[in-house]
Amino acid sequence: MPPYLLGLRLGGRRVLVVGGGRVAQRRVPALLDAGAEVVLVSPRVTPSLEDLAARGRITWRQRPYRSGDCAGAWLVQAVTDDSKVNGDVVAEAEDARIWSVRADDAEASPAWTPASGHAGDATVGVLLGGDPRRAAGIRDAIVDGLRDGALESRHSRRKPVGVALVGGGPGDPGLITVRGRQLLAMADVVVTDRLAPASLLDELAPDVEVIDAAKIPYGRTVAQDRINEYLVEHARRGRFVVRLKGGDPFVFGRGGEEALYCARHGVPVTVVPGITSAVAVPSAAGIPVTHRGVAQEFHVVSAHVPPDHPDSTVDWAALGRAKGTIVLLMAVERMALIAAALMRYGRASDTPVAVIQDGTLPGQRALTATLDTVADAMAADAVRPPAIVVVGDVVDVAREIDMIRADMGRDP
């Protein structure tokens, strides 16, 4: 007969977990997320569970199971690799009329743990006759459908209010966060810029108003004041507004200005962080911005004004003296001046430099040079924005990786 599904509200309630292996490692975090007070009984536990105990997140009784351990529990999980112990735990729980789950024997288990997942405020649980693999596959399909809007219409959801500042990531539409995609699917109005993942706009419902707020380098631009006004105007009409931005809203994205403007006009704001291109684009090109023994720090710099300009707040002298990685945004037109300043203040002329254009997109391309040759190399290669410039020895780490791969790919 089919099981009766029930959502347990475990906040502040004790849950006993007997066993400290891989199954416990999967289940304990979910119990903690539900607010349970977890007591773990096992002579040994995985490193992750030991860390939870050390941080006071769970109570670990470092010993074998004993009769009486179930006392005071609302739910019991028997997840050891010893079938006899699991049977004893479940028998004690049954005698005490406590619901229990036995991981090793679905037929002997009084309760089953569903394959569960979350999409926004929806929690999905799937049971499939004790077959966890098939249940997980169906769970994944449902959750994915909810997250991308395929299983739920925009008008059937609980409508957010105000404005959401959503970071769209470095360009590839697959790199927007799950939360960002959920809110985008619920928008009445989308105010977008040129660095946001444009292909996501094609997935919007036909009645969603899209406002192009692009700031094109050395070309047409929409003033920031007007963008702020768009957000408040539409939100005050009761429309849910998504400000879709490239990268992260608060990393050179003027998200702080937009949040302040909305706050001053009484409009609630939700901020959804995005993957910043300052880290993601070097990664996509195989460049780690930090690397043990090479760089223990990295600096992210907006180079929209050159060194020595009165509007620049960047301490170029400190960057020239520093040993860490420098990641430059908006530097394409000013790279000759930037390279000269860094060398003047102490950076070696042969410091490796990488320039990545259209990072994470199908047209991504990269060049490598040195600090004294990079400006000429960029001009020769006709590099145009958007491009990220990475200065530092970490560029050589990527070169080493590429050489190893090339060597491995050669015929012996």
Residues 6+ apart with CB under 8 A from 342: 316, 319, 320, 326, 351, 371, 391
265: CB partners within 8 A, 6+ apart: 232, 236
In whole angstroms, give the CA distance from residue 14 to residue 4.
Answer: 22
Catalytic residue chosen out of the listed positions 82, 104, 144, 215:
215
Quickly list H helices, 104-207. Answer: 132-147, 178-185
**Roughly what angle, to the nearest 10 degrees, separates helices 178-185 and 132-147?**
50
Size of the chain in residues = 412
Q: Of 193, 245, 248, 358, which is the active-site residue?
A: 193
Adjacent-strand bridge partners of 412: none
Whether residue 215 lies in the annotated active site: yes
Distance CA 233, CA 239 (A): 9
Q: Which two three-digit tokens encode residue 261?
A: 């403007």
* Residue linked to tokens 């619920």: 186
In the annotation, is 84 catalytic? no
Tokens of 67: 């009769």
Assess contact for 320 and 341: CB atoms under 8 A.
yes
DSSP helix/strand/coil, 74: coil
Catalytic residues: 193, 215
